[in-house]
Amino acid sequence: MNDNLIQDIRKHISLTDSDIATLSRYIEQKSYKKKEYVLQENGFCRHLFFVEKGCLRMYFINDKAVEQIVQFAIDSWWISDLKSFNNSAPSDYYIQTIENSKITSISIEKLDHLLNELPKLERYFRIIMQKGFAAAQLKSKLMYEMSKENFYNHFCSSFPEFVQRVPQYMIASYLGLTPEYVSELRKKK
Protein backbone atom coordinates (compact mmCIF):
# COMPACT_ATOMS: atom_id res chain seq x y z
CA MET A 1 0.00 0.00 0.00
CA ASN A 2 1.00 3.62 -0.74
CA ASP A 3 3.37 2.13 -3.26
CA ASN A 4 3.06 4.91 -5.76
CA LEU A 5 3.52 7.62 -3.16
CA ILE A 6 6.59 6.00 -1.66
CA GLN A 7 8.01 5.49 -5.13
CA ASP A 8 7.32 9.07 -6.07
CA ILE A 9 9.03 10.39 -2.94
CA ARG A 10 12.00 8.11 -3.56
CA LYS A 11 12.48 9.67 -6.96
CA HIS A 12 13.56 12.79 -5.12
CA ILE A 13 14.87 11.90 -1.67
CA SER A 14 15.91 8.70 0.12
CA LEU A 15 13.57 7.11 2.63
CA THR A 16 14.40 4.58 5.33
CA ASP A 17 11.87 2.06 6.61
CA SER A 18 11.55 4.17 9.72
CA ASP A 19 10.82 7.26 7.63
CA ILE A 20 8.05 5.35 5.91
CA ALA A 21 6.63 4.31 9.25
CA THR A 22 6.63 7.95 10.36
CA LEU A 23 5.04 9.07 7.13
CA SER A 24 2.27 6.55 7.38
CA ARG A 25 1.26 7.90 10.78
CA TYR A 26 0.35 11.20 9.12
CA ILE A 27 -1.31 10.24 5.86
CA GLU A 28 -4.73 8.77 5.25
CA GLN A 29 -5.76 6.40 2.55
CA LYS A 30 -9.25 5.82 1.26
CA SER A 31 -10.96 4.16 -1.69
CA TYR A 32 -13.66 6.03 -3.58
CA LYS A 33 -16.24 4.79 -6.02
CA LYS A 34 -16.73 6.47 -9.38
CA LYS A 35 -18.39 9.91 -9.05
CA GLU A 36 -17.74 10.23 -5.31
CA TYR A 37 -16.62 13.60 -4.00
CA VAL A 38 -13.22 14.03 -2.46
CA LEU A 39 -13.92 17.74 -1.92
CA GLN A 40 -17.28 19.51 -1.97
CA GLU A 41 -17.75 23.20 -2.73
CA ASN A 42 -17.65 25.54 0.25
CA GLY A 43 -15.85 22.82 1.96
CA PHE A 44 -12.44 23.99 2.92
CA CYS A 45 -9.70 22.25 1.01
CA ARG A 46 -7.62 21.15 3.99
CA HIS A 47 -5.82 18.33 2.20
CA LEU A 48 -3.34 17.60 -0.51
CA PHE A 49 -4.61 14.60 -2.48
CA PHE A 50 -2.38 12.04 -4.12
CA VAL A 51 -3.93 9.64 -6.61
CA GLU A 52 -2.53 6.18 -5.86
CA LYS A 53 -4.73 4.76 -8.59
CA GLY A 54 -7.66 6.15 -10.52
CA CYS A 55 -8.71 9.45 -12.00
CA LEU A 56 -10.01 12.71 -10.52
CA ARG A 57 -11.32 15.98 -11.87
CA MET A 58 -11.38 19.36 -10.16
CA TYR A 59 -14.07 21.80 -11.30
CA PHE A 60 -16.18 24.76 -10.31
CA ILE A 61 -19.65 25.88 -11.34
CA ASN A 62 -19.57 28.97 -13.55
CA ASP A 63 -22.13 31.78 -13.76
CA LYS A 64 -24.07 29.86 -16.41
CA ALA A 65 -24.40 26.99 -13.91
CA VAL A 66 -22.10 24.83 -16.04
CA GLU A 67 -19.30 22.68 -14.59
CA GLN A 68 -15.91 24.08 -15.56
CA ILE A 69 -13.08 21.58 -15.17
CA VAL A 70 -9.69 23.10 -14.39
CA GLN A 71 -7.58 20.03 -13.64
CA PHE A 72 -7.42 16.28 -14.00
CA ALA A 73 -5.27 13.94 -11.94
CA ILE A 74 -4.37 10.31 -12.60
CA ASP A 75 -2.07 7.77 -10.99
CA SER A 76 0.79 9.37 -9.04
CA TRP A 77 -0.39 12.97 -9.43
CA TRP A 78 -1.08 15.41 -6.62
CA ILE A 79 -4.14 17.63 -6.76
CA SER A 80 -5.50 20.34 -4.47
CA ASP A 81 -6.96 23.84 -4.33
CA LEU A 82 -3.87 25.58 -3.03
CA LYS A 83 -5.49 28.93 -2.42
CA SER A 84 -7.96 27.32 -0.06
CA PHE A 85 -5.25 25.07 1.39
CA ASN A 86 -2.73 27.87 2.01
CA ASN A 87 -5.18 30.39 3.40
CA SER A 88 -7.65 28.13 5.20
CA ALA A 89 -10.29 29.71 3.02
CA PRO A 90 -13.44 28.13 1.56
CA SER A 91 -12.91 26.51 -1.80
CA ASP A 92 -14.84 27.26 -4.98
CA TYR A 93 -14.04 23.83 -6.32
CA TYR A 94 -15.30 20.30 -6.30
CA ILE A 95 -12.89 17.39 -6.59
CA GLN A 96 -14.61 14.23 -7.77
CA THR A 97 -13.55 10.80 -8.96
CA ILE A 98 -14.10 9.89 -12.61
CA GLU A 99 -13.20 6.25 -11.95
CA ASN A 100 -13.02 4.11 -8.83
CA SER A 101 -9.93 5.50 -7.17
CA LYS A 102 -7.53 5.00 -4.29
CA ILE A 103 -6.49 8.33 -2.77
CA THR A 104 -3.82 9.13 -0.23
CA SER A 105 -4.24 12.47 1.48
CA ILE A 106 -2.59 14.62 4.08
CA SER A 107 -4.20 17.49 5.94
CA ILE A 108 -2.50 20.83 6.37
CA GLU A 109 -2.12 20.27 10.10
CA LYS A 110 -0.61 16.83 9.65
CA LEU A 111 1.65 18.06 6.88
CA ASP A 112 2.93 20.67 9.29
CA HIS A 113 3.64 18.06 11.96
CA LEU A 114 5.10 15.62 9.47
CA LEU A 115 7.50 18.23 8.14
CA ASN A 116 8.61 19.05 11.66
CA GLU A 117 9.25 15.43 12.43
CA LEU A 118 10.79 14.60 9.05
CA PRO A 119 12.25 17.85 7.70
CA LYS A 120 13.84 16.17 4.74
CA LEU A 121 10.36 15.90 3.26
CA GLU A 122 10.36 19.68 2.85
CA ARG A 123 12.53 19.01 -0.15
CA TYR A 124 10.09 16.56 -1.67
CA PHE A 125 7.16 18.91 -1.25
CA ARG A 126 9.18 21.83 -2.57
CA ILE A 127 9.90 19.83 -5.72
CA ILE A 128 6.25 18.77 -6.04
CA MET A 129 5.10 22.37 -5.77
CA GLN A 130 7.79 23.51 -8.17
CA LYS A 131 6.65 20.96 -10.73
CA GLY A 132 3.01 21.81 -10.22
CA PHE A 133 3.82 25.47 -10.72
CA ALA A 134 5.78 24.63 -13.88
CA ALA A 135 2.85 22.62 -15.22
CA ALA A 136 0.46 25.51 -14.52
CA GLN A 137 2.79 27.94 -16.31
CA LEU A 138 2.95 25.63 -19.30
CA LYS A 139 -0.81 25.17 -19.54
CA SER A 140 -1.28 28.90 -19.26
CA LYS A 141 1.18 29.47 -22.10
CA LEU A 142 -0.62 26.99 -24.32
CA MET A 143 -3.94 28.69 -23.63
CA TYR A 144 -2.45 32.07 -24.55
CA GLU A 145 -0.84 30.95 -27.77
CA MET A 146 -3.10 28.34 -29.32
CA SER A 147 -6.45 28.62 -31.04
CA LYS A 148 -9.02 26.32 -29.46
CA GLU A 149 -8.79 24.00 -32.44
CA ASN A 150 -5.02 23.66 -32.07
CA PHE A 151 -5.29 23.32 -28.31
CA TYR A 152 -7.70 20.43 -28.73
CA ASN A 153 -5.51 18.65 -31.27
CA HIS A 154 -2.42 19.26 -29.18
CA PHE A 155 -4.10 17.83 -26.09
CA CYS A 156 -5.27 14.70 -27.92
CA SER A 157 -1.81 13.94 -29.25
CA SER A 158 -0.05 14.82 -25.99
CA PHE A 159 -2.36 12.81 -23.70
CA PRO A 160 -3.91 9.99 -25.72
CA GLU A 161 -4.54 8.00 -22.51
CA PHE A 162 -6.90 10.75 -21.32
CA VAL A 163 -8.88 10.64 -24.51
CA GLN A 164 -9.45 6.96 -23.75
CA ARG A 165 -10.28 7.31 -20.07
CA VAL A 166 -12.23 10.55 -19.88
CA PRO A 167 -15.53 11.40 -21.61
CA GLN A 168 -15.21 13.84 -24.48
CA TYR A 169 -17.36 16.52 -22.88
CA MET A 170 -15.01 16.64 -19.88
CA ILE A 171 -12.01 17.16 -22.13
CA ALA A 172 -13.97 19.91 -23.88
CA SER A 173 -14.64 21.57 -20.54
CA TYR A 174 -11.00 21.33 -19.43
CA LEU A 175 -9.88 22.92 -22.68
CA GLY A 176 -12.46 25.69 -22.38
CA LEU A 177 -14.60 24.73 -25.36
CA THR A 178 -18.12 23.46 -25.86
CA PRO A 179 -18.91 19.78 -26.50
CA GLU A 180 -20.66 20.85 -29.72
CA TYR A 181 -17.49 22.45 -31.00
CA VAL A 182 -15.42 19.38 -30.15
CA SER A 183 -17.86 17.31 -32.18
CA GLU A 184 -17.31 19.63 -35.10
CA LEU A 185 -13.53 19.38 -34.74
CA ARG A 186 -13.66 15.58 -34.68
CA LYS A 187 -15.78 15.50 -37.80
CA LYS A 188 -13.20 17.67 -39.54
CA LYS A 189 -10.40 15.15 -38.98
The identity of residue 185, as a single letter, is: L
Selected binder of DNA within 110, 139, 148, 165 (CB under 7 A): 148
By CB under 8 A, tell whether 130 contacts a second copy: yes
Partner in contact with 17, chosen from a second copy, DNA, none, beta carbon below 5 to 8 Å by kind: none
Q: How far apart are CA 29 and CA 35, in angstroms?
A: 17
Degrees to nearest 5, angle at CA 88 with 85 and 91: 65
Distances (CA, A) of 168 to 37, 56, 122: 21, 15, 38
Partner in contact with 68, chosen from a second copy, DNA, none, beta carbon below 5 to 8 Å by kind: a second copy
> Would you give the DSSP letter of residue 90?
B
> Least separation, in Å, of the C-beta of 137 and DNA?
21
Q: Return the closest-CA partner of residue 106 out of 137, 128, 90.
A: 128
Name residues contacting DNA, limited to 168-187 (CB under 7 A).
168-170, 176-184, 186-187
- Closer of 91 and 101 to a second copy (Cβ): 91
Partner in contact with 131, chosen from DNA, a second copy, none, beta carbon below 5 to 8 Å by kind: a second copy
- Closer of 11 and 189 to DNA (Cβ): 189
Q: Which residues contact 179 (CB under 8 A, 6 or more apart)?
A: 168, 169, 172
Q: Select the span of 30-38, 49-57, 136-144, 158-166 touching a second copy (CB under 8 A).
A: 136-144
Q: Any bridge partners for residue 71, and if so which?
A: 58
